[in-house]
């Protein structure tokens, strides 16, 4: 009977382990870098960034609370983006 109890205990611990790991969320703010070869005032680029932010918000990510956006754009010199 002891062997069955040990197996049941280990099985229960194995099932509960992932739940405990997910419960320990860090309060760290994640950083998202958006690098685009568009001008600052390009409406298409602004629409893309706005859409990205909206979709992330639907998934529970809120700017200033758990994510921060950094945008870098350069329409004249796309290589300048990689030097940021």
| Residues present in the chain in total | 84
Q: If pLDDT is split at 50, 70 and 90, which confidence band does 54 have?
A: very high
> Cα 84 to the chain's mean position, in Å?
21
Q: Measuring CA to CA, how many Å separate 51 from each of 9, 46, 56, 77?
A: 47, 9, 9, 25
Bigger pLDDT: 15 or 68?
68
pTM score, whole prediction: 0.56
Closest by CA to 51, choosing from 65, 39, 36, 66, is 36
Q: Measuring CA to CA, how many Å separate 12 from each of 4, 5, 16, 28, 64?
A: 12, 11, 6, 31, 38
């Amino acid at each position: 009977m002891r062997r069955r109890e040990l197996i049941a205990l280990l099985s229960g611990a194995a099932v509960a382990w992932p739940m405990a790991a997910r419960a320990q969320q860090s309060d760290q703010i994640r950083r998202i870098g958006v690098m685009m070869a568009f001008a600052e005032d390009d409406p298409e680029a602004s629409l893309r960034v706005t859409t990205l932010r909206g979709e992330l918000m639907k998934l529970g990510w809120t700017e200033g609370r758990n994510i921060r956006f950094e945008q870098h754009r350069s329409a004249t010199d796309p290589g300048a983006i990689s030097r940021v």
